Every structure is written in C-alpha cells, then in structure tokens.
C-alpha cells in the first residue's frame, strides 16, 4: 500500500449497513400485509432487481428503489398500496453506519483526502452524510453522472477531480461487482472490506471475480493498516 495518497469509498454496504436498513424497512411492511418472507429471500430479490434496473436507461435512484419495491412485492405475489412503494427511499436516511465506520473515517481523514463514489442521488446521500458526520473532499453520485456502477463513470470522474495517477488511489468497497471490477480496470488499487452479510457468497450484489490488492474484515483494520 505504499504510494497511496487518496482514498475513495463506496458508501452503502461499505460504510452503511444497508442490509439491516433494507430489512428494517421492508420486512415489517410485508408482514403487515400478511406476507411472510425470509431476510435472505428479500435481499436476493433486491440484488436481482436493483442490478437489472440500473442497467436500463437512466432514472434517479429514488425511482430505482421504488421500482425495486414494486418488483420485490410482486415476487411474493402481493401489490402494495402506491404510497408504500417508496418505503426504501424514505427509509434510506435511517440506514445505520457499521459500528467501526465513524471512528475509522475520522482516523483516515487525518492522513488522506476522502472521496465518496455512490450509486445514489445527491439528496439521499446528503442525509446519510449527516450520520457519517464527516466532510468528504468530493462526493460523486450516480445522479451527477447519469450512470450507475459497475459502469466506469464514477472512477473516470474521480481521476479527473483528484488529478493523480490511478495507482495513488485506493478504492475501498464491499461489492466486488459494483466497485472492484471497474476500479481495477482503470488501474486503481482496491481494498475489499468483507463486511458480514446474510448473502455470504457475494454480499448484496451479483457475483463477480476480481482480485483486490488488500482484503480486510472491516474499516477499523484498514485504518490501522494505512496509518500505522
């Protein structure tokens, strides 16, 4: 990890425990409508529908989440009242950071500029940033680029804004599919944060094969590794 001068981060799944956030919003709602669905089944359907929708023509992430909820409930042979299809977008600001996220970001921010590369809208991430309680050097969202990862637009934009060679950037993320594949294609180094998941083979993402430069179980370990 010598020569690293800048860190870029995925947010949801890496900094934010989105599995817990999604389940806290969706599972009680389905239960109230008489639908019994296991946590793993909900998350598997979220993965499939989100990836499918993000590969289609551009739409804001709020609309993606709404369409995910419509398709997910249909998988369980149920149609929610229209207003309840916004449950994912409305709950996103409450999705919790992992316990080590805030102290690790504070520690890392003393040594590196930190940049967010997120598949979300500016307004949604702004609510999450209040929970993270840190100022990022740059926040690059799908809304700004009209593109979702694993497209390469986030990473091209990061290279443009940061103005350093790809080898000086370490991209930190949980999802191999969304983050490590495009980061490595452009020459960035990457740290795979193997957050615990109810979908242990892939986390909340489709399967992908790529070799990260470093593998850590959490951000606390990475922060210690990079700052010691």
Residues assigned a catalytic role: 10
Which residues, at least 6 apart from 114, have a Cβ–Cβ distance to it below 8 Å? 7, 8, 9, 105, 108, 134, 136, 137
d(CA 53, CA 44): 14
Residue 221 burial class via C-beta count within 10 angstroms: exposed 0-12, middle 13-18, buried 19 and up: middle
Which spans in the chain are helix H? 18-32, 39-54, 61-75, 87-91, 101-109, 122-132, 142-145, 153-162, 181-185, 219-227
Question: Token match 């669905």: residue?
Answer: 37
d(CA 7, CA 29): 37
Neighbours of 225 (CB within 10 A): 12
CB 40 within 8 A of CB 149: no
Q: What is the 3-state secondary structure (H, E, C) of 54-100?
A: HCCCCCCHHHHHHHHHHHHHHHCCCCCCHHHHHHHHHHHHHCCECCC
d(CA 164, CA 24): 40
């Amino acid at each position: 990890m010598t020569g690293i001068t800048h860190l870029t981060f995925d947010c949801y799944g890496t900094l934010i425990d989105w599995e817990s956030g999604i389940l806290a919003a969706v599972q009680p709602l389905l239960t109230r409508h008489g639908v019994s669905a296991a946590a793993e089944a909900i998350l598997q359907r979220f993965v499939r529908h989100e990836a499918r929708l993000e590969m289609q023509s551009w739409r804001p992430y709020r609309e993606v989440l709404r369409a995910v909820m419509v398709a997910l409930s249909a998988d369980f042979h149920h149609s929610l009242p229209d207003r309840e299809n916004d449950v994912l977008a409305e709950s996103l600001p409450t999705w919790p950071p992992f316990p080590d996220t805030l102290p690790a970001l504070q520690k890392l921010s003393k040594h590196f500029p930190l940049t967010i590369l997120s598949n979300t809208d500016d307004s949604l991430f702004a609510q999450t940033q209040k929970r993270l309680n840190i100022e990022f050097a740059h926040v690059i969202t799908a809304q700004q680029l009209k593109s979702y990862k694993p497209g390469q637009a986030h990473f091209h934009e990061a290279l443009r804004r940061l103005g350093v060679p790809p080898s000086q950037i370490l991209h930190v993320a949980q999802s191999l599919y969304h983050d490590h594949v495009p980061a490595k294609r452009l020459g960035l180094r990457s740290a795979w944060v193997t957050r615990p998941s109810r979908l242990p083979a892939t986390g909340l993402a489709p399967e992908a094969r790529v070799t990260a430069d470093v593998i850590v179980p959490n951000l606390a370990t990475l922060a210690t590794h990079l700052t010691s």
